[in-house]
Structure 1
Amino acid sequence: MLNIDIENRKIISNANRVKTSKYNFITFLPHNLFDQLSKPSTFYFFVTLCLQFIPSISPFEPWDYLLAFSIVVGTSMIKDGLEDYQRHIEDHALNSRRTNLILKDLKLEETSVEKLNSGDIVLFEKNEQISADVILLKGYELNRETNKFECINHCFIETSNLDGETNLKKKAALVNENDHKALDDFRCDCIRNYKKNIKSIAIEEPNDSFTEFDCKIEINQDQRKDIKVGSVKNAILRGSILKNTSLIACLVINVGNHTKQAMSINTDKKSTSVFEQKINWTLGLVFGIYAVMLFSTTGYGAYYNSNLSTFEIIKFMASSYILYSYLVPLSLFLMIEICKIYHAYIISIDKDMFRDLDGTNVNSRCRNTAVIEDLGSIDYILTDKTGTLTENSMTLKLLHNFTTGQKNISNLLEEIITSNINNLSGENREKELFLLNMLICNSVEIYNDNYEGISQEELSILNLLKEHGYFFESRTPEKIILNLNGAKLKVYILSNLDFSSKRQRQSIICKINGKILLFTKGSDQKLLADSIDKSEDIADLDKKAKDYINNVNEYRTLVFKYKILSKEEYDEFKTNKQIAINLLNNHSMKISSNEKLKGKYEKYNNLELLDDVDDAFYKEIETNTIYVGSSLIEDKLSENIHSTLTMLRSSSIKLWMITGDKKETGVACAINSGLADNNDFFSMEGQQLVNRLENKEDLDEIFRISSIVVYRATPAQKGKIAKILRNLDKKILAIGDGNNDVAMLKIAHVGVGIIGKEGRQAVLNSDFALPTFSCLRRLILYHGRFNLLRYSKIVTNSFYKNLFFIIIQYLYNFYNGGTGYPFYKDSFMNYYNLIYTSMIPMSIGFFERDKEIFKSSNGIYWETIEEERAAQEYDFHAVKTYKHIQAYFTKPIILAHIIGGVLQSIILFFSIRFMFNDGISNSSGKMLQSPGESIIISTIIFLSVINSQYRIISFINKYSYIAVFLSFFFAIFFTFGLNGIDFLHMNIFESEIVPKVFTNVFTYFILAGGLILTYSLDTLFLLYIDNRIKKMQQSYK
């Protein structure tokens, strides 16, 4: 733990500043430029640029390449700068908020939240956002009648900024002491004591867990050292909002980037996407070709020019390095990045992916553009159940008790005589205890006569009981007043341990009319477990309850148990627990030094957290609790869930539902939702599946099944399953809505968070955020398919056209002695990729589709029968061809484009060389040799590539024509419009050569012959590619 000495602590002026921005005005240029050059591709282009500034080795002037490089890098820098500027604005708004700091003399000083330090005591007002991780010391409520403040030992907060939950949560003060009943302001004796006597704070190592908090506060008073232990019950995290409480005084624990809110934000980028891995594989192949070209040219040059010195050979090699560097497309990565940003925006405005959530029209969002194309190559979807496939909208349907059997709530309550509840000794005792358990053992609070709570199950039970006249009128940490159909009953709370995901149950010890009762409520997995120590009678009863629950398939169940405690049992529990807490508070006290405690309490000596103490003692006292009933709760399926899952399953995507629920509930949900049918699925317990995957047992059988229901799975097991599948090279998408889904969302290739009732942690750790599961259909089958198709065509065409372009330069080097003399003019080489041949690929990246889709005018409803039929036709097409799109970017197709580019380049080069063998002269007898050959081949290459790009477009639209027009416009503009403007260095060819070439009639014969040749070769090439793709598509299931 981290120790802070309050008196000697170092005050840091901006300790609580949260900084999400990366740069400032001074560091932006050098830092971002360094970030840009850290990218392997950009660094490669930068080295090429530097070499061009060495006149002795560069075949070109560097200015054209510098301009092209500046456009690519500059665009990326502008994007980074705008994003970081927006983060600066958000940081400033967050850090400059004002709050009240309590000084030593208890005066208030208004300060900005960024100036808070650990150990400060701060006063927060109602509706103020908490600005650090703090421990609640004291609350104050304004009495409207007396206009005085009253000390209270709790407060209410809302944590929607942290986890999305709008239900109010109750936090307890560190010490439950009421020093004054009426105060003019916050200056009570306890705050004076805290401010004066707090000496040190021991803080847990910073972490991102919202459910764990541990600190120890040392207070020295009257020569006596006292240690207070703070836990999650007392902790209020940064981002929470104070509600329904006038003022609270809090001790600051964690500040700045050490707060749990700051640490919980997932800033780790996904590892390389599946699509990017294939690009890197292609780049490796291209660099291999690059190396062969470079060393073969250099070797030939050294052989052909045997009298050259080693230095001159190195110069020739460097020149060839520059020439062949154009083999790697400079503009490809920028083009893909722009397309991804555009499509992320399209997803956010897609009206078909908007949903109404509690009266608010919520859109879908792309939070990580790096994986946007991986949506088109998903093999497995791992999905949570509650809140993902279901709405997390609970309705209490039935109650079960062995004395009455399965009944609805009305029938059960009719059998209870309210006046007899005080005695708890009549024939309806079990039913009465069941009713009291439901009313008492929960974490629900009252606000404006309405229930507020975290658990949807608890709210559904209590709201239905309230409709029948059974409710609690007031609730404090010490007492609950129940209204039982008009009869009042006081319940005194002696001890309480709230529900936790670790324990999966809540227990409360209370006193009712002199009887001490332990009520426990939780999952059947924990409360009815065979491993729990219990008597034979209770074990038999639990077995019967377990058998009953396992036969109730469609409902979520909560088990309720009780135990009557003697005064001696409770006193022992209370005393021993306090001893363990004292041991925890004072680690200098050793059990071994106290013979009376040795043996009996030695096992508590190693407990490190207050929660550990609670867990240990409640586990003991919960032994032999008696089953009193179960609640059967229905969780409504999410809208359009059946059609969505049916379509995804029909798209050859395998669906695995991973839930913590019991087997029967999971299977029923899977069948009812359409995730599985009775013929092609199986169910398996979470650990069992992990073991089989780790041991690689029957993997063929597991991967053959289209749907699997994984039940009783923990959050850690969800993450393990995702990790194992990923290591087995399965492309997975994980989708969930709660904290327990975060592990699998972060590990999956694509993580999707549902904006639901269980909080924002899933969304914060996701790549995409959707309002409902049904939006996944459009995200995958529409955006996923199209984007994979678009980027596949962009990348394969990019490498094809560059090889087609550069191989001619390579072959030409064997005609000039391997000297590295350029065949093309420098500006043509530099702008061939960046401008001339990038317009059509950009239009493909934005608008390409494999099938035209008719869009309704309002984006949601189809206004005509023809539109609706077209939409249904597309849905059918998307389902049947989802896997087919993946064939466009497979290794065989990538290799085919590389080989096709090389072969077409070789054939074109030698055909033109044959025509130029004796030279071509015009009417005046002047010869058109190498420069003229360069002009003609450059023209043929440009026209051939434009034609090839146009022919691979599946969805011709107005933007396709605009792209073709812009390609010709820029080519003509740079060729003729800027011809001869030397200071711009924009002339593609020497000014006196261009007219000679295009006024020679033989030029057009050569152009026509070359274009016919390339068109024929391109036709054969595209036919081969199409045939290869179709064969691969036929092999897909």
Structure 2
Amino acid sequence: MDGACFRETLRTRRRWPDVMAIWKKDIRIALEEERHVRANDRDYNERFSYADNRIKTAKYNVFTFLPINLFEQFQRFANAYFLVLLILQLIPEISSLSWFTTIVPLVLVLAITAVKDATDDYFRHKSDQQVNTRQSQVLIKGKLQNEKWMNVRVGDIIKLENNQFVAADLLLLSSSEPYGLCYIETAELDGETNLKVRQALTVTSDLGDDVAKLADFSGEVICEPPNNKLDKFTGTLCWKDNKYSLDNEKMLLRGCVLRNTEWCFGLVIFAGLQTKLMQNCGRTKFKRTSIDKLMNTLVLWIFGFLICMGIILAIGNTIWEQKVGSDFWEYLQWKELTINAVFSGFLTFWSYIIILNTVVPISLYVSVEVLRLGHSYFINWDRRMYYSRKDTPAEARTTTLNEELGQVEFIFSDKTGTLTQNIMVFNKCSINGKTYGDVYDEFGHKVDITEKTPCVDFSFNPLMDRKFRFHDSSLVEAIKLEEPLVQEFFRLLALCHTIMPEERNEGELVYQAQSPDEGALVTAARNFGFVFRSRTPETITLYEMGQAVTYQLLAILDFNNVRKRMSVIVRNPKGQLKLYSKGADTILFDRLDPSNEELMFTTSEHLNEFAGEGLRTLALAYKDLDEDVFDEWMKKLLFASTALDNREEKLGALYEEIEQGMLLLGATAIEDKLQEGVPETIACLTLANIKIWVLTGDKLETAMNIGYSCNMLRDDMNTVFIISGHTMLEVQQELRTAKEKIMGPSKDKFSSGLDMEKTELYSSDSVFEETIIAEYALIINGHSLAHALEADLEQILVDVACLCKTVICCRVTPLQKALVVELIKRHKRAVTLAIGDGANDVSMIKTAHIGVGISGQEGMQAVLASDYSFAQFRYLQRLLLVHGRWSYHRMCNFLCYFFYKNFAFTLVHFWYGFLCGFSAQTVYDQWFITLFNIVYTSLPVLAMGLFDQDVNEQYSLRFPNLYRPGQLNQLFNKRKFFTCTLQGVCTSFILFFIPYGAFMTAVRDDGAHISDQQTFAVTIATSLVIVVSVQIGLDTNYWTAVNHFFIWGSLAVYFAILFAMHSDGIFTIFPNQFPFIGTARNSLNQKIVWLVILLTTVVCIMPMVAVRFIKADLYPTQTDKVRLLQQATRKQGPQEQNLRRVRRTSSRRSAYAFAHQQGYGELITSGKNMKVPTSSTSTYPLSSPTRGLTGTSSVKNSGVNDTTRDQTETYSTGFRRESDQSQEVTVEDLEAR
């Protein structure tokens, strides 16, 4: 109950932040430069007016709900517009309609929204109450007392027990675990369910659970002001004339849950709205689709059109009153107020604005939101996007972007964990200039490693990991021969990391790795005889070839995205000081001793070979430290670690100082395999004219090989351009060279080529003809990209990149990923999608129009920041080509029909104005006007918008180029809007004038004249309902029982209400509201009325039917052809589709980036030996480009041995397709099949 309650509070807080509370909070934070908190001293702390621990996420109370909610709703243009109309209708001189014609639909919309808001706020009140009244043990006046959370204050000391939620942001003081450790779950903060470790300062952990000592504790914390950075905290504890450095690893944040720890004590630093949890609960940036923006524009145009119609009819009224109206004064005497004809025209203008108001659709936005919600549920319910291995379904985390999924032109993808599995395997290594990992036969020839290749026997090591596989026995021999550098190599791997060991049942040793890379490296060291066994805050214990050896851990020089390396300083049992470091090759190479130049050159060649095979590489180095130098450096480190200002910069400078003059040991190579179905998915999306850019932190060679592995790069490509310049001039020249090679010297051709590209692609006669822009690829390094993103070069970068079939950016930072996405958004009118799985992908995901998170090995940060999430990259194909395309198709058809229906309904009054002296009289009965949009025609169009399919899912995936109309905005644009509104205008013209002409001379069956106004109105209304129902039947491609029920049911409801309103009974009850007794019965009993209705329906519908048949026969679209094929296949009955198998050649290569989270080293240094499983968290590549790669280079037909194999993928949708992306399928082939 507590967890569910807290999650609900968090969700509702994100949805509806309390405006006034946040405003007051921001004022306090803006004035607060640093925070002073004194333990056990409420009087001192209250002087600073810190926030209390009460939270309020509810927006309303009983008295404020109605005014505030109505105020919010009337800030929407449509609601305010109809409110103005309602006010106008209360003026008798201009109102031709009763007030209920406007108030009924308006109140319905307002009521639906108000009920939803009230329900949400009720649950917010309930959650607030449950959270604020939770009990917590607070140390007050020397005693532990149970207090409600809302009564907790900054400076209080709180006792937490196992499985309790943390009440506020606490500084951990002591715990029941050794070394002041405690374990927390942060699922409410970052979505990660793995346990994390926190540790108290040694001086406070000695307080234990002694209440008397804790009550006497008077330490003062000086720290940063409240902020929303969950992974960062900077502060200092002043106690007993000493200062102690505080960081995030000593904090327990509100929203965490204490796990596997009997008790702990903490000092409240931030409370209530100033906690980091609540600081992160603001609104996220609202993403709007291109259809949203277009709809807003069109609604304004419609409003302008309404004004124009009102002006035309007002002018007509003025002229009519001047020339004709005076003849009627004897019969229809005016009030003195309206004798002036001009003033009569002015009043008529407002009258017609009221009558024609339905041309602006009040229910449009509500209906659109209903459709989007339904489309989101379809994604959530799709079993073919469910990953059973991790019990992870697809999730639409937003309901506003579904149709945008059908318009994506650019996909920006991370590599590690997104295209690859992020499951690392130690594959090869280089030690002192010699490589290990390859297998050779008796003749010295390299042998391909397969599943049948024998593995190395590690039976000499009783602590080996039985899952580990290695095939080169020479490395084991080197270990057994006790070669010093080989042993030092694996000793470094066993010492330089942040892994926590856990001993499970029956003595099983399990490593809890912060990153998959570290897990693979330490596991390799374990199998080769250097077993990482345990750690304390001050020591690391290894079993070196069966002997226990304990090293004193003196410092961890932590990893970050700038350093791209981590180091440890240890003292071995002999008393020697050692620094061990691992990181990106170029980063470490710049810090090596000059005597290593020859070894560095050899190792660089090995690194290039490893990267060429798609392996993730890492360089290793070490250094012997002088005792005096280290002591002096350690003093500087302690001083920098307690600094409040620029602490990270000062620490970074000290790390740089000690990491100079290292000696190279070698390098490692780790394999990260591709996810299942990645090459096929990329090939299919490429056929859909979606450009896929890979943005990775890997080395250039690795980036190229992941391209070959995914079929993004092929040996038969014309040229692969490599942009690796180090200066702006070099990058500019390389881009210009690439541009000239692609486009030739003609600048005119280049300037026009990009604009014509989309149209040319889609104008192909054959739906199955695959066209590519050019067989070129662009690969650009991170340092070159930094120059290319400058204002002077960004345009040429966009031009060249968009003309290449494949773009890969390597060695990029998280910020550069976001900048690349922003660049395309700014220069190309295209929908962008970013997909990733780690914290380093969050900025890219938030920048793109659509963000997709992969729930993988790197935590949940990407998922939490995303709009859609699932477990495997291959599901992206179905998300876009099925759900995205359907959503776009359904939304466009819905909007076209909606505007058509409203114009056909409303403009009948416009034509009637010319025949009634522009007197603002209505054709329809007022109740018909009220019910038309909300009862008679609302459900059929919603059914079409929810369930329609132009082609089924199998054909949507089988023919990816059906996706292109969405990219070209072909199904709903300004031209399409004018077409459907013109159809509505013509329909209204026919609806009015055919009955008008027919009834001019027509008589009833008994000879009486038939042309009374009510018969005329019933005829037009009935014709309208039938016409729009037939039209939606024509627009529906995929019929379900729901469609039938809603269409036929709406017609039945219309006739039932029609006869009820004109019945004797309703007249008896409401004689003033329903005066036309028996009109429906008398009218619809006449044959001529039904003939007129039939004629009107046929004349309205037949032109559209004829146009559609002619277009489908003479100018068929891609969808028309595929639909025809689908229908033909259905008629033939189920049969095996004998698609021809296509043999293709490809260069099969592997993939690559080292991952580690900043800040974890200090956690280890302070002694957090984990005893519970933790999964990997956010990571970032730690590799660097190969040295010496400069200038523009091109790769032509690389000559790598091709492997020929059949590639036929069986999809979960039940059909088979060839994976060769260059295969062309013609209409004739399909007809033959």
Same fold (TM over 0.5): yes
Q: What secondary structure is seen at the aligned counterpart in 2 of 1:489? A: strand
1:883 aligns with 2:964: yes
Shift of 1:281: 2.9
Contact persistence 1:478–1:493 (CA under 8 A): yes
In structure 1, how many angstroms separate the alpha carbons of the residues matched to 2:146 and 2:587?
50
Relative to structure 1, is the Cα distance of residues 579 and 1007 closer, same or farther in structure 2, using a 3 angstrom cutoff? Answer: closer
Contact persistence 2:433–2:602 (CA under 8 A): no
1:1018 aligns with 2:1018: no
In structure 1, how many angstroms separate the alpha carbons of the residues matched to 2:121 and 2:838?
29
Which residue of structure 1 lines up, in the alignment, with residue 1019 of structure 2? 936
Higher relative contact order (CA 8 A, sep 6+): 2
Which residue of structure 2 lines up, in the alignment, with residue 298 of structure 1? 314
Where in structure 2 are the equivalents of 1:123-202 lying within 5 Å? Answer: 123-141=159-177, 152-175=179-202, 179=206, 185-187=209-211, 189=213, 191=214, 195=217, 197-199=218-220, 201-202=222-223
Deviates further, 967-976 or 755-764: 755-764
Shift of 1:417: 5.4
- Of residues 622, 631, 639 in structure 1, which corresponds to 2:676? 639
Relative to structure 1, is the Cα distance of residues 760 and 416 closer, same or farther in structure 2, using a 3 angstrom cutoff? Answer: same
Letter in 2 for 1:355: Y
Shift of 1:100: 2.5
In structure 2, how many angstroms separate the alpha carbons of the residues matched to 1:258 and 1:995?
69
Which residue of structure 1 lines up, in the alignment, with residue 1212 of structure 2? none
In structure 2, how many angstroms separate the alpha carbons of the residues matched to 1:188 and 1:632?
56
1:331 aligns with 2:331: no
In structure 1, how many angstroms separate the alpha carbons of the residues matched to 2:594 and 2:1072?
94
- Of residues 301, 315, 337 in structure 2, which corresponds to 1:285? 301
- Of residues 68, 88, 109 in structure 2, which corresponds to 1:31? 68
- Of residues 474, 480, 493 in structure 2, which corresponds to 1:438? 493
- Of residues 976, 988, 994 in structure 1, which corresponds to 2:1059? 976
In structure 2, how many angstroms separate the alpha carbons of the residues matched to 1:726 and 1:1024?
39
Contact persistence 1:203–1:253 (CA under 8 A): no
In structure 1, how many angstroms separate the alpha carbons of the residues matched to 2:417 and 2:1074?
61
Q: What is the TM-score when the length of structure 2 is the normalising length?
A: 0.73
Where in structure 2 are the equivalents of 1:733-748 lying within 5 Å? Answer: 733-748=833-848
Relative to structure 1, is the Cα distance of residues 775 and 629 closer, same or farther in structure 2, using a 3 angstrom cutoff? Answer: same
In structure 2, how many angstroms separate the alpha carbons of the residues matched to 1:89 and 1:780?
39
1:791 aligns with 2:811: no
- Of residues 519, 531, 541 in structure 1, which corresponds to 2:580? 519
Relative to structure 1, is the Cα distance of residues 13 and 267 closer, same or farther in structure 2, using a 3 angstrom cutoff? Answer: same
Which residue of structure 2 lines up, in the alignment, with residue 397 of structure 1? 427
1:822 aligns with 2:822: no
Which residue of structure 2 lines up, in the alignment, with residue 1009 of structure 1? 1095
Letter in 2 for 1:338: V
Which residue of structure 2 lines up, in the alignment, with residue 598 of structure 1? none
CA offsets per residue over residues 614-665 of structure 1, 9 Å max, x none? 2120111112222212221112322332332222222211111111222222
Q: What secondary structure is seen at the aligned counterpart in 2 of 1:481? A: strand
1:720 aligns with 2:825: no
Relative to structure 1, is the Cα distance of residues 577 and 1012 closer, same or farther in structure 2, using a 3 angstrom cutoff? Answer: closer
- Runs of 5+ unmatched residues, structure 1: 142-150, 421-427, 586-607, 854-870
Relative to structure 1, is the Cα distance of residues 133 and 498 closer, same or farther in structure 2, using a 3 angstrom cutoff? Answer: farther
In structure 1, how many angstroms separate the alpha carbons of the residues matched to 2:798 and 2:617?
33
In structure 1, how many angstroms separate the alpha carbons of the residues matched to 2:603 and 2:128?
55
Letter in 1 for 2:780: M
In structure 1, how many angstroms separate the alpha carbons of the residues matched to 2:1120 and 2:1028?
29
1:374 aligns with 2:404: yes
Shift of 1:1009: 2.4
Shift of 1:371: 0.8
CA offsets per residue over residues 550-573 of structure 1, 9 Å max, x none? 332311122222111111220221
Contact persistence 1:373–1:791 (CA under 8 A): yes
In structure 2, how many angstroms separate the alpha carbons of the residues matched to 1:229 and 1:984?
81
Relative to structure 1, is the Cα distance of residues 112 and 350 closer, same or farther in structure 2, using a 3 angstrom cutoff? Answer: farther
Deviates further, 548-557 or 883-892: 883-892
In structure 1, how many angstroms separate the alpha carbons of the residues matched to 2:1119 and 2:596?
60
Letter in 2 for 1:875: L
Shift of 1:330: 2.5
Contact persistence 1:48–1:322 (CA under 8 A): yes
CA offsets per residue over residues 727-784 of structure 1, 9 Å max, x none? 2322011111121111121121111112222222212211112122222222212211
Which residue of structure 1 lines up, in the alignment, with residue 944 of structure 2? 844
Q: What secondary structure is seen at the aligned counterpart in 2 of 1:564? A: strand
- Of residues 631, 637, 644 in structure 2, which corresponds to 1:577? 637
Shift of 1:176: 5.2
Relative to structure 1, is the Cα distance of residues 35 and 546 closer, same or farther in structure 2, using a 3 angstrom cutoff? Answer: farther
Shift of 1:34: 2.6
CA offsets per residue over residues 164-204 of structure 1, 9 Å max, x none? 44554443323457748xx7x44485x455x3x23453323
In structure 2, how many angstroms separate the alpha carbons of the residues matched to 1:662 and 1:19?
49
1:203 aligns with 2:206: no
In structure 1, how many angstroms separate the alpha carbons of the residues matched to 2:798 and 2:152?
55
Which residue of structure 2 lines up, in the alignment, with residue 320 of structure 1? 352
1:352 aligns with 2:379: no
In structure 1, how many angstroms separate the alpha carbons of the residues matched to 2:986 and 2:599?
80
Which residue of structure 1 lines up, in the alignment, with residue 690 of structure 2? 653
CA-based RMSD of the aligned residues comes to: 3.1
Contact persistence 1:825–1:989 (CA under 8 A): no
Contact persistence 2:551–2:571 (CA under 8 A): yes
Which residue of structure 1 lines up, in the alignment, with residue 502 of structure 2? 447
- Runs of 5+ unmatched residues, structure 2: 1-32, 323-338, 438-469, 504-508, 718-774, 1123-1223, 1225-1233
In structure 2, how many angstroms separate the alpha carbons of the residues matched to 1:711 and 1:989?
78
Where in structure 2 are the equivalents of 1:948-987 lying within 5 Å? Answer: 948-980=1031-1063, 981=1066
Deviates further, 315-324 or 1002-1011: 1002-1011
In structure 1, how many angstroms separate the alpha carbons of the residues matched to 2:175 and 2:35?
26
Q: What secondary structure is seen at the aligned counterpart in 1 of 2:1090? A: helix
Letter in 2 for 1:647: C
Where in structure 2 are the equivalents of 1:106-121 lying within 5 Å? Answer: 107-121=143-157
Contact persistence 2:234–2:246 (CA under 8 A): yes
Shift of 1:881: 0.9
Q: What is the TM-score when the length of structure 1 is the normalising length?
A: 0.86
1:57 aligns with 2:94: yes
Shift of 1:492: 0.8
CA offsets per residue over residues 907-965 of structure 1, 9 Å max, x none? 44344433344575663534514333222222222211111111011112222211221
Shift of 1:155: 3.3
Count of aligned residue pairs for this structure pair: 961
Q: What secondary structure is seen at the aligned counterpart in 1 of 2:45? A: coil
Shift of 1:205: 4.2
Q: What secondary structure is seen at the aligned counterpart in 1 of 2:46? A: coil
Which residue of structure 2 lines up, in the alignment, with residue 557 of structure 1? 617
Q: What secondary structure is seen at the aligned counterpart in 1 of 2:479? A: coil
CA offsets per residue over residues 42-73 of structure 1, 9 Å max, x none? 22223223322333322111124322222223
Which residue of structure 2 lines up, in the alignment, with residue 597 of structure 1? none
In structure 2, how many angstroms separate the alpha carbons of the residues matched to 1:170 and 1:355?
30
Letter in 2 for 1:522: G
Relative to structure 1, is the Cα distance of residues 991 and 537 closer, same or farther in structure 2, using a 3 angstrom cutoff? Answer: farther
In structure 2, how many angstroms separate the alpha carbons of the residues matched to 1:745 and 1:502?
21
In structure 2, how many angstroms separate the alpha carbons of the residues matched to 1:22 and 1:769?
30
Which residue of structure 2 lines up, in the alignment, with residue 605 of structure 1? none
Q: What secondary structure is seen at the aligned counterpart in 1 of 2:1097? A: helix
Which residue of structure 1 lines up, in the alignment, with residue 524 of structure 2? 464
Which residue of structure 2 lines up, in the alignment, with residue 604 of structure 1? none
In structure 1, how many angstroms separate the alpha carbons of the residues matched to 2:398 and 2:1104?
37
Contact persistence 1:908–1:1013 (CA under 8 A): no
Shift of 1:1032: 8.8
Letter in 1 for 2:409: D
In structure 1, how many angstroms separate the alpha carbons of the residues matched to 2:286 and 2:1113?
35
Q: Give percent identity, aligned residues only.
A: 27
In structure 2, how many angstroms separate the alpha carbons of the residues matched to 1:945 and 1:477?
76
Where in structure 2 are the equivalents of 1:901-920 lying within 5 Å? Answer: 901-917=984-1000
Contact persistence 2:53–2:271 (CA under 8 A): yes
Relative to structure 1, is the Cα distance of residues 692 and 472 closer, same or farther in structure 2, using a 3 angstrom cutoff? Answer: closer
In structure 2, how many angstroms separate the alpha carbons of the residues matched to 1:265 and 1:1025?
53
Shift of 1:971: 0.8
